[in-house]
Amino acid sequence: MIFTNKDFLPTTKEEMNAKGWSQCDIILVSGDAYIDSPFIGVAMVGRMLERKGYKVGMIGQPDINSDVDIKRLGEPRLYWGVSGGSVDSMVSNYTATKKFRNSDDYTPGGKNDKRPDRALSVYCNLIRRYYKSTAPIVLGGIEASLRRVTHYDYWSNKLKKPILFDSKADILIYGMGEIALEELTKALDDGKDYTDVRGLCYIAKEPKHEFIQLPSHQECLDEKEKYIDLFDDFYDNNDPVSANGLCQPVDSRFLIQNPPCHYLDEPEMDANSNLPFTRELHPYYAKMGKVKCLETIKFSIMTHHGCWGECNFCAIGVHQGRTIRTRSEGNILEEAKDFNKYKDYKGIISDVGGPTANMYGYECGKKLKKGTCDDIRCVDADRLCKVMHVDHSRNIDLLRKVREVDGVRKAFVASGVRYDLITADKKHGYSYLKEMVKHHISGQMKVAPEHTQQHVLELMGKPGKQTLIDFKKMYDKLNREEGKNQFLTYYLIAAHPGCEEKDMHELKRFTTDELKMNPEQAQVFTPTPGTYSAVMYYTEMDPKTRKKIFVEKDTKRKEKQKAIVVEKDSFSSGFAS
């Protein structure tokens, strides 16, 4: 399949002219190059708005030192939509030990020289520098979503104000925000008030008394427990069924967060997946080099949104939500079939999954009716909520049907898999893992125990080590039965709040004695906004008990924790990573 510039959203004036446009309705600005894929949030936003009849332009990675890029399409009629990109710009630019990353998978050529630190604020300032009185600026994407209230910023080591105040943008859409985006756009187009649209944040001169009143930014600065109070309310009010709005005083004004917008249903999920993505890098950027991320996302299939795993160091639950929204099997199979239209498709699907691949196809009935629970998690340490009936049967059926699609030679599941859910599913867990071992693993299966010490696991929100042992036995048994020699690769975290050097020595002992392997995938913990682990890192307290916990903050000692577990041992083993 050969695409021309006409198949993409315009990113130059010439492309606008070719479409007969004198002005864009909306211009989207992103920290990523323009990759037209359903896995890229800005591309999805652009295609959704295009479907509604709006003229959408795209500017990826604008030069921040001149007007060359930001003035390329002129001013939009309705608003600027600004995103830091697929990854928070600070996470994208720096390692956990604050070293600058030289590479960027979303930049042509791979060199990390196009994405500025704190991209949202930089892009907003860039727009206002060259357009003094312009259309409203609307923030979206993960960087905006996780920084929408007072938040701990690891890179400056301080609490920062809600991003609307620092960026001087007008509106923020949080979470996935698909419905919020469409309702906001219509309100602006009709010249109507948008301040009641669900899923929006904005700044007001007066408080909204009917909303939950959060501690002020100053109170959070003055007292760390106030920041925990704020985060508890922030975390507990993300579900569209049960959440209230939030109101936070910031200096003399107020951050207003409306209740979340409703989730897409299955037909709406399918409709978004049917949008006319080219799955390519726009030619304007392609001439600068390839983008590495396309190697994995081009022929991958997203089966669902959301994750209820609630790992404390992960922000997916806050951004995507803790309720699973699935696409239909038929829609997924059509996407797999459509890959045959591409000349470079070799019959290999890189991934069939989601934030957690084996959460596809089932949910808690109580949650769907009443929203997520504030006092109990779906899964926490060694406990799976009795109301959550794990069932891999629909997932098994889907994978079998994907394999039968004409042209499919291999369909991998590269997304994360919760091994505790496999062991918990007494009816179908074994069968699911058998399907994975036999058909959907590329030599190794990635699992993420993260640690093995119980007090650290509890602070992480991860299952205990016995669950890992049980899973490994099942995995090894299936490999022997299938005559395969496929390995397990374990993701591990060093220097998470609560973790000391002695805990890493115990982790090393466990991997050597119990797992018979040398860990290679260990990373130093990064406190990212929107997570309980970042709250622990900043406050040095357990948010549940408010008791003091150990937090390693010295960079060299963090690196030492990692070195302890990845140090090579000499031994022979059967199944190892």
37 in Cβ contact with 279 (< 8 Å): yes
Query: Is position 311 annotated in a ligand binding site?
Result: yes
What are the structural domain ranges in the chain?
5-203, 299-442, 443-577
Integer angstrom CA distances of residue 227 from 20, 161, 233, 247, 513: 52, 12, 10, 14, 41
Contact between 417 and 474 (Cβ < 8 Å): no
Under 8 Å between Cβ of 240 and 260? yes
Diameter of the chain by CA atoms? 70
**307 known ligand binder:** yes
Nearest partner of 374 among 152, 176, 544, judged by Cα:
544
- 467's CB contacts (< 8 A; 6+ apart) are 382, 419, 420, 423
291 in Cβ contact with 280 (< 8 Å) = no
> What is the model's pTM?
0.94
Class of domain 299-442: alpha beta
Q: What are the DSSP calls for 123-174, one per residue?
A: HHHHHHHH-SS-S-EEEESHHHHTTSSSEEETTTTEEE--HHHHHT-SEEE-
Q: Do domains 299-442 and 443-577 have the same CATH topology?
A: yes
CATH entry 3.40.50.850 includes domain 443-577: no
220 annotated as ligand-binding:
no
CATH 3.40.50 fits 5-203, yes or no: yes
Digitized pLDDT (tens) for each residue of the chain, 577 residues in all: 666 677 999 999 999 999 999 999 999 999 999 999 999 999 999 999 999 999 999 999 999 999 999 999 999 999 999 999 999 999 999 999 999 999 999 999 999 999 999 999 999 999 999 998 999 999 999 999 999 999 999 999 999 999 999 999 999 999 999 999 999 999 999 999 999 999 999 999 999 999 999 999 999 999 999 999 999 999 999 999 999 999 999 999 999 999 999 999 999 999 999 999 999 999 999 999 999 999 999 999 999 999 999 999 999 999 999 999 999 999 999 999 999 999 999 999 999 999 999 999 999 999 999 999 988 899 876 688 988 999 999 999 999 999 999 999 999 999 999 999 999 999 999 999 999 999 999 888 989 999 999 999 999 999 999 999 999 999 999 999 999 999 999 999 999 999 999 999 999 999 999 988 888 779 999 999 999 999 999 999 999 999 999 999 999 999 999 999 998 764 433 333 3
